[in-house]
Amino acid sequence: MTSTRRTVLSTALGLGLAAATGLSFGLSAAPASAQGWEPTRPIQIVVGFAPGGGTDQTARLIASAAQELFPVPLVVVNRPGASGTLAAEIVANADPDGHTLLVGGGSESTSVPNHMETNYSLDQFRGVARVNREHMVIVTKAGSGLDSVEAVVEHAKENPGDLAYASSGPAGILHSAFLVFEKEAGIEMQHVPYQGGAPALAALLGGHVDLAIITPGDAMAQMEAGNVNAIATTSDRAPQIPDVPSLSELGYDVNLENMKGLVAPAATPDEAIAYLQERFEQAMQSETFATLAERANIQPGYLSGQEFEQAMSDMSAAIREAIGERPEGN
């Protein structure tokens, strides 16, 4: 038995959302399923972070857009804790019957298991669909003189260990992104972890660290205000800030993103995965999804289950390689 009270709250919320978007799963006709697998009870979408955060928004977005295609309710359940690994552990060990999904693809999937021992690993999950991707933007404080990747690398090479970067916490995706960048650029910097992205940005603006990684939306706002230099993104160029180059363009082999998508326990049967994948793909092409994603400032990035798995394992491998060359716990 999981959360009684929270489930009730989430269900109420899901119902509210469904009503608000003019959907109602009671009336909707689910597409006829040829594969012979049908969900028989509510499908839980487990979120490893507190309600209101980015991962939670993604979960509620896809749940409300996909609801009309399912004969059973899609229920978002928050199990925050340990940078999302608590939820990942729960889903990795859940019944692989297609009724329990995790919003994965971020720190808990690609980053944390490479840094420390976790009670699950990436190959205990099967991809269902990637929902969105979020670019990561490396920023420095305006007026610091570190106005390009070149300037940062040059400074770091001349004064090893002098520059410091802020992360959202040890072992998270931001920490890993800096580790991969350090390795590719052949530099060494200090890591100063903060409790989340917001305090990390505050530390950068206060001049307590030299570099931080933020979202394109935040980068745009802080650049307009003349507070930060956005020196590079860690994957390709972000549509919100098209003038900021990517690290790979600049000659550093870095391709990391904060992805969000749905994964299921690895032993989930093919028929169930096919059933889920078909419906979530259809949901992401819907009008509802497009409207909601635009309002929530979420950049859709559909990938099929297999492609999503591949993207996660590529990122995980790059991170593992970068950590391998460093002393324990750094």
Partner 1 sequence: MDPLLLALWGFTTPAVFLTLLGSVVIGLVIGAIPGLSVNIAVALAVPLTIFMPTEQALVMLIGLYGSGIFGGSISAILLNAPGTPASAATIFDGFPMARAGLATKALRISLVASVFGSVFSIALLVMLAPQLAQFALRFGPVEIASLLFFTFLIIGVLSGGSLMKGLLSASIGMALATIGSDPMLGIPRFTFGSTSLMDGLTYVPLLVGLFALAEIIEEATKGFSKTAQKVELAAEDRAANRITRTELKMMGVPMLRASAIGSAIGILPGIGATIASFLAYADAKRSAKDASRFGKGDVRGVAVSESSNNAVVGATFIPTLALGIPGDAVTAILLGALVLQGVTPGPLIFMTAPGIVYTIYFALLLSTILMGVIGYFAVRPLAMTLRIPKIYLMPCVALVCVAGSYVARNNIVDLFVMIGAGVLGFVFNRTGVPVAPLLITFIITPPFEEALRQALTRSQGSFAPFLTNPVTIGLALVAILLVLLSARRERALAARASAEKAADDGDAKASEGRA
Question: What residue ranges bind partner 1 (CB under 8 A)?
Answer: 2-3, 5-6, 9, 13, 16-17, 20-21, 50-54, 56-57, 60, 77-83, 85-86, 89, 115-116, 118-119, 161, 164, 169-171, 190-195, 198-199, 201-203, 205-209, 217-218, 220-222, 224-225, 227, 292, 295-297, 329
Phi–psi pair at 225, nearest 5 degrees: -80, -5
If one counts every other C-beta atom within 10 angstroms of the C-beta of residue 250, the result is: 16
Residue with smaller CB distance to partner 1, 59 or 247? 59
Residue with smaller CB distance to partner 1, 84 or 305? 84
State the minimum distance, in angstroms, from the CB of residue 278 to partner 1: 26
Q: Contact at 8 Å (CB) between 106 and 84?
A: yes
State the minimum distance, in angstroms, from the CB of residue 325 to partner 1: 17
**Alpha helices per DSSP H over the chain:** 4-20, 54-66, 85-92, 112-115, 149-158, 173-185, 197-205, 216-224, 270-284, 287-295, 305-324
Residue with smaller CB distance to partner 1, 153 or 219? 219
State the minimum distance, in angstroms, from the CB of residue 305 to partner 1: 26
Q: Contact at 8 Å (CB) between 287 and 116?
A: no
Residue 182: both structure tokens together: 């350090």
DSSP 8-state secondary structure symbol assigned to residue 303: E
If one counts every other C-beta atom within 10 angstroms of the C-beta of residue 287, the result is: 8
Residue with smaller CB distance to partner 1, 155 or 191? 191
State the minimum distance, in angstroms, from the CB of residue 193 to partner 1: 6
Residue with smaller CB distance to partner 1, 258 or 277? 258
State the minimum distance, in angstroms, from the CB of residue 131 to partner 1: 16
